[in-house]
Amino acid sequence: MAVAQATLGQNTFTVLRTLINANLPTYSFNSTPFTYTLVASAYNDDAIFPSVELGDPKGDFITITMDATTGDIEIEVMIKFYAKELHGKKAIAVGRDGLRNTFIENISTFIGTDKLVPTEDFWVDNPMSEIDIKNQIINTATSTVRFRLG
């Protein structure tokens, strides 16, 4: 799907949601496989772990010329990972590594089909932390993905 300026947020979200849903990471804990679930929010009543939350794409128009007649549209999307503390921080690392590799493997599709050109700081991992959700400790981390509209 080609991302267009008029529907930047909608199309970017659809492209990334489709890619993530088709490539959900999996890890094992005590010989039991766990596959990430793509969720709208980890804080809902039916919280599922491990989960990955795709944030709303944020678009910025960055001017290139002094008169602001030419510019690039830069897109930033935050991806949040959640896993039970019991499963260890490795569960978060597996999730991030899996999706990062999927995104890297799909760069040619992002550019050629989706018109999303990865920027220099295409995928950035942020530090892991712990939060309390519904009286259980959850490991969490975010990764930021950046494109420019091509």
Per-residue pLDDT of the chain (150 residues; tens, 9 = 90+): 888 788 888 999 999 999 999 999 999 999 999 999 999 877 766 788 999 999 999 988 775 656 666 678 999 999 999 999 999 999 999 999 999 999 999 999 999 999 999 999 999 999 999 998 878 899 999 999 999 998
The predicted model scores a pTM of 0.90
Q: How many helices (H) and strands (E) does the chain have?
A: 3, 9
pLDDT confidence of residue 41: 78
In Å, how far are 58, 87, 150 from 101, measured between CA atoms? 22, 22, 22
pLDDT of residue 3: 86
| Residue carrying the six token digits 């990865």 | 118
**Distance of alpha carbon 37 from alpha carbon 117, whole angstroms:** 26
Query: What's the total number of domains in the chain?
Result: 1
Residue 150: predicted pLDDT: 86
- The pLDDT score that the predictor gives to residue 76 is 96
Q: What is the distance between the alpha carbons of residues 83 and 89, in angstroms, rounded to a whole number?
A: 8
Residues 6+ apart with CB under 8 A from 143: 78, 79, 81, 96, 99, 100, 123, 124, 125, 126
120: domain CATH number is 3.30.70.1700
Q: Name the residue range of residue 84's domain.
A: 5-40+47-149
Is the previous residue joined to 50 through a cis bond, with omega within 30 degrees of 0? yes
The residue behind tokens 């709303």 is: 56
Distance CA 67, CA 69 (A): 6
